A and B are shown apart, each in its own frame.
Chain A
């Protein structure tokens, strides 16, 4: 996607976040606005960096690192960034993610019918065992390192 397209799409996503913050969390559009601008500006900057750097990492890694960097104590604007972002409930961007994710899998229902019950059981076993395996290892390492 071209940068211009990212801008238009981010504006659309931003309108969604404002709407969620208003309906779901009773935060006025005026209060949410700086936060939405901050989040989307950082995301856009991350996309620009991602396009320039030839290293093929997922774009969300740049989003996360840039957010971290700009809000960390070394950043001169960390106070503004943190305060603005605090007005946006962390779940607020997720409703649009859900709507788009739902739409994007809307043509997979017929594939589900082909899978058969055994594959469905295995898929659930795969998801559950990955989560449980990870939580067990994390718990053990946290105990050994004395973090908990």
Chain B
């Protein structure tokens, strides 16, 4: 958080947070790793997951050991904590530069996979009867950058922003665990090369990438380093290009699909209700 008068001021305000975070870390590490087969996929539980779950449980909405103030103080610290992880990936990448270069085209074009969200998830949203919220929700994977973009374009009170915010919250709560599982589930189809899976791991937030690449590393130990490096590179690219892909490709496409599909669904609704009234009318006549 900005605005502390001194470091001591920060420590005085946040010491409880540090103690709790450190205790969670110790407990999570003592529990260790577990693997479960869930259907064809594998759910691999890492200390990072228990860390998230314990952190949420102790928060203001459940047990309440940590207050709203601690929650807000923890937000900027996530970035500080992930920095050494990213440095380590950079160091690992240095040993894999030739590979990174040869896989470059797939890495860059893999970013366009974000557009699939519009093609697949938007029609699902419309079928479920969601209106303009669907544009925000299904234009991208909705991380911080997208939330800022949609809020900026449509305004904080808009339906589009409500949609974005919904996916943003869900991603924050379950994205990490879901991504770890999803990656192993897609891997279990054996349709994809570990490189492709590694690249796809980078579509979300850094922490989702960490979960997906870690899980994939368990499935393909021989490729663990490559998967990690590709996931991180994908994540970096998403960070740099995601905003522009969303603004110039995904959002116009989402609006186009919306304007084509939404009236059709409306007509269906109308014709259904017409059929309904006619039947009633017929019933009455009969």
Give the interface of A toward B (CB within 8 A): 1-2, 4-6, 8-10, 12-17, 19-20, 23-24, 36, 39-40, 42-43, 46-47, 57-61, 63-73, 78, 81-82, 85, 88, 90-91, 93-112, 115, 118-139, 141-142, 145, 147-148
Contact = CB atoms under 8 A, between A and B. Distances in A.
B153 interface: no
A123 B171 contact: yes
Given A63-B86, A119-B130, A103 B55 contact: yes
B87 A72 contact: no
Contact of A138 (B90, B140, B195, B228): B195
A107 B68 contact: yes
A121 B88 contact: no
A9 B56 contact: no
Contacts of A8: 7, 10-11
Given A135-B192, A138-B199, A68 B130 contact: no
Contact of A94 (B47, B66, B70, B119): B47
B200 A99 contact: no
Contact of B74 (A64, A104, A118): A104
Given A98-B55, A102-B53, A104-B71, A130 B186 contact: no
Contact of B117 (A81, A97, A109, A130): A130
Q: By DSSP majority rule, is chain A's interface helix, strand, loop, or mixed?
A: helix
Q: Which 6 A-B pairs have the closest CB atoms?
A: A106-B59, A102-B55, A133-B116, A67-B90, A134-B113, A98-B51
29 contacts: A1-B76, A16-B21, A17-B84, A20-B47, A63-B83, A64-B90, A64-B93, A65-B90, A68-B90, A82-B91, A85-B92, A95-B51, A99-B51, A101-B176, A102-B55, A103-B66, A103-B74, A111-B169, A118-B125, A122-B124, A126-B121, A126-B138, A132-B120, A133-B114, A133-B117, A137-B112, A138-B196, A141-B110, A142-B195
A52 to B, nearest CB: 17
Given A9-B77, A130-B141, A139-B196, A122 B166 contact: yes
B242 to A, nearest CB: 11
Contact of A19 (B29, B133, B214): B29
Contact of A60 (B102, B121, B206): B206
Contacts of B66: 103, 106
Nearest to A45: B87
